[in-house]
Each structure stands twice: as C-alpha cells, then as structure tokens.
Chains A and B, each alone.
Chain A
Amino acid sequence: QSALTQPPSASGSPGQSVTISCTGTSSDVGNYDYVSWYQQHPGKAPKLMIYAVSMRPSGVPDRFSGSKSGNTASLTVSGLRTEDEADYYCTSYAGSNNLVFGGGTKLTVL
C-alpha cells in the first residue's frame, strides 16, 4: 500500500491561512470518509486534529478544518499562530483492514 502524498513543507505568517493537501487514490481517500489529520510537535506524540474528513475532536480550535474532494483531502489552518508550527500527517482507511499515512508536512509559521 503506497503512502498518501503530502507536500514536504508549508508556511504562512501569523494570522494567515494555510492549506495542506493529502493525495491518495480511489482505493483509499477517494473511497472512504475515514481521513484523519494529526499534529506532531518535535519529540512529542501525535495528536488527533481532524477525523472523518472534517470532524474536530473536543478541544481542537475551530481554526482547524478538514475537507475532501475526489482523491485529495485537505487540512486548513486559519488565523495561524506560532504554536501551530509542527508536522502534520494525514491518514486514510485503505480497504482490506489497512491504514495508510501520508509522508508528513512541516508547517512553518514565519
């Protein structure tokens, strides 16, 4: 199972919005609404930020939003804050009881 494709890096200034893409295939992202996004700060465990494409866990700011179109899912961070600087990973159910992660995107807040 191939990894989902994410851009290696993204950046934005405080207060701006940035969108991170996650491209899969019709066998994973395009076929299931089980896309999740995780935030990971250096040396820390990942944290769930979005599940089921666009749902936010309790405690996650509404500045974080998710969407999907075809085989590509997206995470948008609005009103960027310095604490949003981290690595972000998408994951999708890929059928046959498999899960697949994206390669990760390093978000820099300039």
Chain B
Amino acid sequence: EEQLVESGGDLVKPGGSLRLSCVASGFTFSNVWMSWVRQAPGKGLEWVGRIKRKSDGGTTDNPSPVKGRFTISRADSQNTLYLQMNNLKIEDTAVYYCATEGYPYGFHAMGVWGRGTKVTVSS
C-alpha cells in the first residue's frame, strides 16, 4: 500500500525554525516528484513547493510566500522528504501535507497524500 507519513510539527515562536519529515512506503520514492501543501485553520489548500526526482535534476520550486524561507530536500536512500522552515511567521500556522506529484497519475496531479502534521507559530 502506498503511504506517506509526516512528522515534526510543533509549536514554535515567530522567527523560529522547524524541519518536517515525510516518510514514503509502497512505491519507488526516488522516481517520484514530491510536493508540500499546507492548510491554515479554516482555510483552503496552498501549494508550498516541490522537489523533482534526481533524474529530472532534483531541483526545487517554491511559490513567493515561502521563497527564501522554506527549503525542500530529499533523502532517497531513506525514502524521506524534508521541509526546512526558517524565519517562521504567524501566517505559516497550518497543517502541512506531503504528496506525490505526477504519481501515479498525470503531470502535476497529487495522487498520494499523507495525513498531515500540524505547525503552530505563536508567541
């Protein structure tokens, strides 16, 4: 069974840092693009960024709200995706989901999702 399990969510002060992890199982992680998506309390989904598979360059992409603060990386030998979040702001408070992108369906479709991990930024 294809599965993603996030961890690392916590309560952190504004300006602080946090690293989230996402462990994959049931599919060949190294062959798959991976994305992070967040959802603030009572709000909609927001794409946070992606990392491509190494054969596609292993590059990352982030939208403007998090560019320069959030860094996505992957450890294919450990089937693990990471999201390093620095200089956290109150508006970063959300449930963070990891998801496959382009697997097992078409380009940019997020076919497998984790259950999410909660990040709260508050003083």
Chain A interfacial positions (CB closer than 8 Å to B): 1, 3, 34, 36, 38, 40, 45-48, 51-52, 55, 57, 87, 89, 91, 93, 97-104
Contacts and interface: CB of A to CB of B under 8 A. Distances in A.
B64 A52 contact: no
Contacts of B64: 1
In order of increasing CB-CB distance, the 10 nearest A-B pairs are: A51-B109, A104-B44, A97-B61, A45-B113, A52-B106, A99-B47, A34-B108, A36-B109, A51-B105, A51-B106
B97 A55 contact: no
B110 to A, nearest CB: 6
Contact of B45 (A1, A34, A46, A52): A46
Contacts of A45: 97, 113-116
Contacts of A52: 105-107, 109
Contacts of A36: 108-110
Interface of B: 35, 37, 44-47, 50, 61, 63-64, 97, 99, 105-111, 113-116
A6 B24 CA distance: 32
A12 to B, nearest CB: 21
Contact of B110 (A38, A55, A100, A102): A38
A1 B63 contact: yes
A98 to B, nearest CB: 6
A46 B45 CA distance: 9
Contacts of A100: 47
Contacts of B111: 48, 51, 57
Nearest to B109: A51
Contacts of B35: 99
